[in-house]
A and B are shown apart, each in its own frame.
Chain A
Amino acid sequence: MAADSQTSASGNDHARMLRDSVADFVKRGTDIKRVRRLRDTQPGFERPVWQQMAEFGWLGILVPEEYGGLGLGCTEMAIVAAGTAGALTPEPLTAAAVLAAGAIARGDNETLKRELLESLVAGALIPALAWQERPGALDATAVALRAEPFEAAIKLNGQKNFVAGGAGADGFVVSGQSPEGLALYWVPAQASGLALDLQPLADGRMTGTLRLNDVVVPKNHLLASAACASEALLAALDTTLVMAGAEMSGVMGRALDMSVDYMKTRVQFGKPIGSFQALAHRAVDLHIQRELSSAVLDDAVALFDAGASGTRRSAMASRVKARCSEAGLRITREAIQIHGAIGFTDEYDAGLYLKRALTLSAWLGNAAQHRRRYAELAAANHE
C-alpha cells in the first residue's frame, strides 16, 4: 500500500533478508493447496517445512546469539509472523519460536536452556508452552498445577488447556506451583503420565488439553525457578500477543487485498462492484482498520525492542492484540460479505482467512478481554 511504502522505515539488513526469505517461502515453500490438505489432520503441519523455517533462521530470530539464535528483535520477528500468517501457514511458528522460546530463554537453568534453545533453533525440537488452566483467564500466575518434590525428582499433577502448538510438540514448558512459588518445568512429550487430547480449531489446526497425572521429571528439568518464572511467562506472553497481532495483520492484509481485487473485477449491473459507493466506503473503513492495526503494531515492536518492561509493556501488548483482533475479524468477516455467495463456499479462500482470524482472535485473549486487561493495567497505573 502507499502508506506502507511512505511510512515504514527502510529497515536494516536483517529485516531485508527476512523479507526476502518470507517472499521466497510464500512463493515456493507453501501454498493454499497445502493449507487445505493439512486441515483437520494431526499434527496439522509438516516437519520438512519446519526444517526449512529453521534454515531460514526464523526459529532463532528471538533467541540470543549465545544460544545459537540470531538475537534479533520483535521488528524482525513481526515480518516473518505477518508474512507466514498471511499465507495461512499452519506451522506453529509463534507458538514455538516466540511463546515457548520466550519462556525458555528467560529461564535460569543454563544447561537445559542451552540444550533446548539450540535444538529449537536447529529445527530438531518443537516446544510448546502449557500455561493456561481456566478459560478466559489471562493471568499467567494463577496456577493450580502442583509441582512437588518426589524423592530426588519433581512430581507434576494438574491440567493445562488451550495448549497452542501442542500437536507435534516434542516437549512442554509447564508452569506449576512449587513450594517456592511459581516455576517452569520441561516435560518431554513421551513422559509417563502425560496425556495430550487434541481439539480442532476453526482453521483446521489443533489445540490441546494437557493432563499431567503423577508425571515425574528429574530436578534438572526445572527450567525457571520461582525467582524468574513469573516474569519469564509474562514477558513471553506479552511478546506473543504482539506477534499474534503481527500474524493477524498479515491475515487481514491478504483478506482485504483479495476483497479489493474482487471489487475491481466482479461486474454487476454492468459495472465493477467497487464503483458502488456502499461497497467502496466499506472497503475504505476496512483499510482504516488495517492501517490503525499496522500503526499500533509498529509502535509496539519499537517499544519492545527498546526494552520496555512492566505495565507499559503489558498495556502495549494488550493494545496490539485488541486492535488487531478486532480489525482482523472485521476485515475477514466483511471479506465474505464483499464476495457474496462465493465467499461463503469452502472452495473459495476467503473463508480460510476468516477461520484463521477466528483462531488468532481467540488465542491468548480476544479484543474484549484485552481491552479489559488494558483498563485494569491503566487503573493500576493511576493508583
Chain B
Amino acid sequence: MTPPDFNALSDEEFRAKVREFFAEHYPPHLRFVLRRARLADMMDWYLTLSRHGWIAPNWPREYGGMGLDTGKMLILLEESERYGVSRVPDHGIVQVGPIIMKYGSAEQKKYYLPKILSGEHIWGQGYSEPNAGSDLASLMTSAVPDGSDFIVNGQKIWTTLAHDSTHLYTLVRTSKEGKKQEGISFLLIDAKSPGITIRPIRNIAGHEEFCEVFFENVRVPQVNLVGGLNKGWTVAKALLSFERINIGSPRRPQYALKRLEQLARAKGLFNDPGFVDKFTALELDLADLGSLYARYVEVVKRGEELGQEVSMLKIWAMESWQRLTDLLIETAQEYGGMPGEHSMDGAEVDVLSPFYYARPGTIYGGSSEIQRNILAKYVLKLPA
C-alpha cells in the first residue's frame, strides 16, 4: 500500500500523529531499553511499522518509504527519543536500502527493497576486520571470481546483530593492485550461505550485540556486487548527509542528562554548588551542541551537502555524553559500582547501563581520533 503523504501535514500535526502512533502501538515494556535491542524483542514492532508503512521514514515514497523531509525526520527522531522507542535492526532501512537505491541494479532494487520493508530480510554490516578497524581500507577478506560467482574467504568482526541478520552487506577485497581503497568491492551476501559461521561477542555491558563472522569458501553470485567491481569504497562512503548529522544529535546524551537530573534531585544535590557547577557545565555542553547541530540541520534542510566539518558534531556529542555518564557514576557513589537498578534516596536509577551505552559512540563510525584526523586534514588543512 502507498503510505499517506506525511509531508503534507504541518509539523505540529505530524508530531501529534507520531505521538499518537507510538502511544497506540509501541510495546510499553520496550521503552528506554539502554542497549541495541535484539530482533526477537523488536520483530513485532518491525512488523507493526511495516504494516502501517512507517518502517522506512527515510525512503522515498515510490519505494514504499514515508519520504519524510529533513524537518519531519527530525520530529520523528525527537519523538522516538522522547518516548524511549528502541531502534529496530535497521541496517537494511538506514544503510543498505539507500545504497541499493543509489547504486544497485534494477533487479537488486526489485528483489531486495520490498523484503527489507516486509522484514523478511534483516541486514548486518560486514565492514570491520580484526586488522582493519580505524584503518578500514586495509581489509583482507577476499572475493575471488569463480565462474559466475565469487569465492569469499576471511573474517569480519564487530558486526552488529549479525546473529539476527539474514543478509550481510560487506566490503571485500577484489584487487591487490594500486591504492588499497581501489581494490575493494561492495558485496551482498546471504547469511545462510554454506561456509559462514557467526559467533556472538559479549560486550562489557554483558550483551551480545555484535559478532564475529567467518567466511570459508563462501560462494556468492557476482550479480550481488553493488556499484561495480572495485568501487566499494565509494559506495560505502556515500552515507547520506542525514545519517552523518544524526549521529551528532544531542538527543541521546539528553537521556543520560535526564537520569542525572532525576538522581541529583532525589539526593538534594541542586543545593550543592560543587555539583551544580559540574552539572551546569555539562548541561551547557549539550545546549551548545544543540546550537551547533541546528546549524548543520539548516544546511541539510536547504538541500546542501555537508562538508567534512560535520565530524565535529560526533566528537562533541559522544564525548559530552560520556562526560555525563561519568558524572552519573560519580553521583551514584557506591551504586556507581553496582549493575542494575537501585533505589537511591527514592529514585530508581540504573547508572551503569547508560555508562556502558555511552562507551562505543567514540569508537564506531570512525573513532573520535579518526574524526580529529579528518578535521585536521580537511578543515584545518594541516599537513600530513
Contacts and interface: CB of A to CB of B under 8 A. Distances in A.
A291 interface: yes
Contact of B380 (A6, A271, A277, A284): A284
A287 interface: yes
B307 A319 contact: no
Interface string B270-288: 1001001101110110011
A374 B280 contact: yes
Contact of B307 (A6, A295, A323): A6
Contacts of B288: 292, 295-296, 319, 323
Contacts, number: 107
Contacts of B207: none
Contact of A280 (B284, B308, B316, B372): B372
Contacts of B281: 371
Interface string A258-278: 001001100000011011010
B375 A375 contact: no
B280 A372 contact: yes
Interface string B234-253: 00000000000000000000
Contacts of B384: 275
Given A6-B299, A7-B299, A371-B284, A299 B376 contact: no
Interface in A148-186: none
B298 interface: yes
A260 B382 contact: yes
Contacts of A380: none
A252 to B, nearest CB: 14
A371 B278 CA distance: 9
A1 interface: yes
A342 interface: no
Interface in B282-322: 283-284, 287-289, 291-292, 294-296, 298-299, 304, 307-309, 312, 315-316
Contacts of B295: 3, 7, 295, 298
B182 to A, nearest CB: 25
B120 interface: no
28 contacts: A2-B379, A3-B309, A3-B379, A7-B295, A264-B381, A275-B382, A280-B372, A280-B380, A280-B382, A281-B369, A283-B376, A283-B380, A285-B372, A287-B379, A291-B292, A291-B309, A292-B316, A295-B288, A295-B291, A296-B288, A299-B291, A319-B287, A371-B281, A372-B273, A372-B276, A372-B277, A375-B276, A378-B280
5 A-B pairs with the lowest CB-CB distances in the bound complex, closest first? A280-B376, A274-B382, A295-B291, A295-B292, A375-B280
